[in-house]
Amino acid sequence: MDRVRVYVDGFNLYFGLRAKHGRRLHWLDLEKLATSLLKPSQRLERVVYFTARVRNDPPAEQRQSDYIDALTAHCSRLTLLDGRYQAKTRHCRACGSRWTVYEEKETDVNIAVSLIEDAVTDRFDMALLVSADSDLCPAVKALKRLRPDKRIIAAFPPSRSSGELRRVVDGAFTIGDAKLRQSQLPDAVTTPAGIVLRRPARWS
């Protein structure tokens, strides 16, 4: 059977889901979703989830923390790779006021490094890339040069697509709404420490 690793661009997926479905599908079981996207001749080896922890928004921080803890407790074949948020100061030229914004950093680089490293060390036969970020095209091209025997398929999140990425991968499709609805975590997940984590009310 073909060994498959799934690389999930957390931000691309989150904002695609939010654009089409609001918040009601955010409590997503990534391992179940990944399995539903495979053919009978393929075996899921690992799901690698790339994200970064929210800053300066305590309610959002709590929702994200509960989701990640529930996800890692429920999914046995999931690896989490954190990027970071970087604080930047912006200012208004008209009035002179200043404020701080936070920009997500490192996710693209982490995905690119993981894809290439896993390919050259023969950890998969096929990579399923859950993203529509064209910034990943150089990494895909490099992977294909180094290991042309490896296949890369792009699974575009809802409301997301990339013609540029579609041209460099071996195939591409958009994840269907039915698979997303059928791949939700249980409303309550118990961690190994006995903590019960529930779907945030805002995500219902």
Residue 101: per-residue pLDDT: 47
What is the identity of the amino acid at 143? Answer: L
Q: For the whole model, what pTM was predicted?
A: 0.90
Which residue intervals of 22-99 are DSSP H helices? 30-36, 58-74
Contact between 165 and 25 (Cβ < 8 Å): no
**Biggest CA pair distance of the chain:** 63
The tokens for 151 are 């296949």
Tokens 């200043």, located at residue: 98
Give long-range contacts, CB 8 A cutoff, 24+ apart: 191-198. Answer: 191/69, 191/70, 191/73, 192/73, 195/69, 197/66, 197/69, 197/70, 197/73, 198/66
CA distances from 136 to 23, 34, 76, 189 (A): 26, 20, 27, 33
Q: Domains of the chain: which residue ranges?
A: 2-203
Looking at residue 100, its pLDDT comes to 47
Could you read off the pLDDT tens digit of each residue along the chain, which spans 204 residues?
999 999 999 999 999 999 999 999 999 999 999 999 999 999 999 999 999 888 778 899 999 999 999 999 999 999 999 865 555 566 677 777 765 444 555 788 999 999 999 999 999 999 999 999 999 999 999 999 999 999 999 999 999 999 999 999 999 999 999 999 999 999 999 999 999 999 999 998
Kindly report the CATH number that applies to the domain delimited by 2-203: 3.40.50.1010
Question: Which tokens go with 54?
Answer: 């929210």
CA 57 to mean position of chain CA atoms:
21
Q: What is the pLDDT of residue 64?
A: 94
pLDDT (0 to 100) of residue 90: 65
Contacts of 144 (CB under 8 A, 6+ apart): 150, 152, 168
DSSP state of 56: S
Q: Give the closest residue to 106 by CA, choosing from 47, 64, 51.
A: 51
Task: Say what the pLDDT of residue 137 is.
Answer: 97
